[in-house]
Amino acid sequence: MVNICCNLPKGIKSKKKLEKINNWGYNMSKEMTLELFDPRNDFVFKNIFGNEKYLDILKDFLEAILELPKGKEIVSVELKNPNNDKQSKEGKYSIFDIKVRINGNAYINVEIQNVRDENIVERVIYYNGILSSGQLLEGEGYGMLSKSITIVVADFLALPNSKKIHSVYTPMEKEELTELTNSSGEGLIEIHFIELSKFRKYIKGKNIMEIVRENNLYKWLVFILDPSNEVIEMISKSDKVVNRATKALRELSSDDEARMKYMDREKARLDKISALFSAEKKGERKGEMREKIKIAKAMIKEGFSVENIMKLTELKREEIEELPKK
């Protein structure tokens, strides 16, 4: 070991502190090797877009999605469920959705879905109904009902019949294609689907910076998919809100307690994927067995021997002998 004598820098009162600062196993390495959390994780998504500290991020995100006309921009944002990250008795976290009220009237529910859900459309319609019905207090008339907007960011193909990355649905008259509105001429139901899988396909092999300029929403989709992307770094230099979101993510990613919650949610997501895969495999096996039995029954009718049926269908002798002979 070589000792080097030197004057301590201003503000450093001990060699021990200097060694800590210069040691690659300390602050510098931690900062340089920090692995950012994945914003698709619902715990992370909620902490960035549904945090009282970062309402400017939520406002910018919602404005990019809703594409509000001039004069109807978001003036106020009020989180209705800022703290829904408690653990349940089963040790799992509740759904990390974001409930928000804008401009004192419209109610919005935002959630990210990172595991395929075959019933996503039905569930979204159901929850949008709850968002509407939960507004009125006892004694209030239906005229007090405000607009209900549900926004789903899905990391799977949710709407195979639509080619759009961002699909918007409102009740429409079937032939005239006019929106169903209240007496003030305002629609009361709006459902948004944002599909990350379609966005991935759209940007593949293209200049991402040019794509981001097409639509203000796309910068957020790039951030959600890949916050370490150099495009996000470039945008952050001129876009204060994206810069703030990046800093918020770095701060969250360096928090040890937050990392434990993040890993819990990742484990829950993987468990759900595993359960879905097992269910699909079980369904496939049942389908295969039904097909084998169907073939075996047809062969019995044609007079084939049990041995031949066993060879063709791979069914066991007892399984074939239990089948009806007619």
Q: What is the pLDDT of residues 132-179, one digit of tens each?
A: 988 888 888 888 899 999 999 999 999 999 999 999 999 999 999 999
The predicted structure's pLDDT at residue 278:
62
Q: What is the pLDDT of residues 313-322, one digit of tens each?
A: 877 777 777 7
Q: Kindly report the CA angle at 234 between 224 and 213, in degrees rounded to 5?
A: 70
- pTM, entire model: 0.72
Task: Indicate the residue among 254, 276, 311 that finishes a domain.
Answer: 254
Point out the least confidently predicted range of 196-205, 210-219, 235-244, 256-265. 256-265
Do 320 and 306 form a contact (C-beta atoms < 8 A)?
yes
Do 216 and 307 fall into the same domain?
no
**Nearby residues of 181 by Cβ (< 8 Å), 6 or more positions away:** 187, 188
Do 303 and 188 fall into the same domain?
no
What's the rounded mean pLDDT across residues 126-135? 90
The predicted structure's pLDDT at residue 32:
52
Do 191 and 309 fall into the same domain?
no
Quote the CA–CA distance of 226 and 283 in Å, as a whole number.
35
As a whole number, the mean pLDDT across the chain is 82
Task: Indicate the residue among 211, 237, 254 that finishes a domain.
Answer: 254
Residue 304 predicted with pLDDT over 70:
yes
Answer whether residue 25 is part of any domain: no
Do 221 and 314 fall into the same domain?
no
Quote the CA–CA distance of 206 and 50 in Å, as a whole number.
31
Task: Indicate the residue among 204, 233, 254 that finishes a domain.
Answer: 254
Do 52 and 148 fall into the same domain?
yes
Do 248 and 290 fall into the same domain?
no
Answer whether residue 218 is part of any domain: yes
Confidence of residue 299 (pLDDT cuts 50, 70, 90): confident
Q: How much of the chain exceeds pLDDT 90, in percent?
A: 49
**Nearby residues of 22 by Cβ (< 8 Å), 6 or more positions away:** 28
Answer whether residue 4 is part of any domain: no
Do 171 and 289 fall into the same domain?
no
Answer whether residue 261 is part of any domain: no
Do 165 and 299 fall into the same domain?
no
Do 233 and 159 fall into the same domain?
yes
Residues belonging to the chain: 326
| More confident position, 293 or 106 | 106
Answer whether residue 30 is part of any domain: no
Do 201 and 69 fall into the same domain?
yes
Do 113 and 164 fall into the same domain?
yes
The predicted structure's pLDDT at residue 56:
95
Do 316 and 307 form a contact (C-beta atoms < 8 A)?
no
Do 135 and 146 form a contact (C-beta atoms < 8 A)?
yes
Q: What is the pLDDT of residues 13-23, one digit of tens each?
A: 444 443 433 43
Number of domains forming the structure of the chain = 2
Answer whether residue 27 is part of any domain: no
Answer whether residue 272 is part of any domain: no
Do 99 and 220 fall into the same domain?
yes
Answer whether residue 147 is part of any domain: yes
Q: What is the pLDDT of residues 181-216, one digit of tens each?
A: 998 888 999 999 999 999 999 999 999 999 999 999
Range of the domain at 306: 285-321
